[in-house]
Amino acid sequence: MFWRGGETPAHRHEEKTGLPARPEPWYDPLEEGPGTNDEASKPSLEMRVALIGVVGALAGTLAGGLVTWAVTKDQLASQRADARRTERLTAYSQYFGDAASLWTQVFDIYEVSPRPPSLTKAQTAGLRKLEERLTREYALVALLAPDHLRSLARELNNADTDVGNALGTDPIDYEGYKEAMKQVVGPNSLLRQFTDAAKKDIGTR
Q: Is the dihedral of CA 32, 33, 38, 42 positive or negative?
A: negative
- For residues 178 and 110, is the Cβ–Cβ distance under 8 A? no
Question: Is the pLDDT score of 12 beyond 90?
Answer: no
Looking at residue 99, its pLDDT comes to: 95
pLDDT in tens, 146-180: 999 999 999 999 999 999 999 999 999 999 999 99
Quick check: 103 and 191 in contact, CB under 8 A? yes
Compute the distance between CA of residue 106 and CA of residue 119 in angstroms, rounded to an integer.
Answer: 10
Whether pLDDT at 63 is above 50: yes
pLDDT in tens, 99-155: 999 999 999 999 999 999 999 999 999 999 999 999 999 999 999 999 999 999 999
- The confidence score (pLDDT) of residue 30 equals 45
* pLDDT given at position 76: 64
Give the C-alpha separation, 7 to 5, whole Å.
5
Share of the chain above pLDDT 90, in %: 54
Residue 81's pLDDT band (cuts 50, 70, 90): confident
Instruction: Work out the number of other CB atoms within 10 angstroms of the CB of residue 172.
Output: 18
pTM above 0.85, yes or no: no
Residue predicted with more confidence, 50 or 120 = 120
| 196 — pLDDT class (breaks 50, 70, 90) | very high
Which whole number is the average pLDDT over 24-38? 49
Give the C-alpha separation, 86 to 201, whole Å.
Answer: 11
> What is the rounded distance in angstroms from the CA atom of residue 159 to the CA atom of residue 180?
5
Cis peptide before 20 (omega within 30 of 0): no
- pLDDT at 183 (0 to 100): 94
**HEC profile of 165-195:** HHHCCCCCCHHHHHHHHHCCCCCCCHHHHHH
Q: Exposure pattern of 187-197 as b/e (b: 16+ CB <10 Å)?
A: eebbbebbbeb
Q: What is the pLDDT of residue 187?
A: 81
Q: Which of 83-92, 149-158, 179-188 has the highest mean pLDDT?
A: 149-158
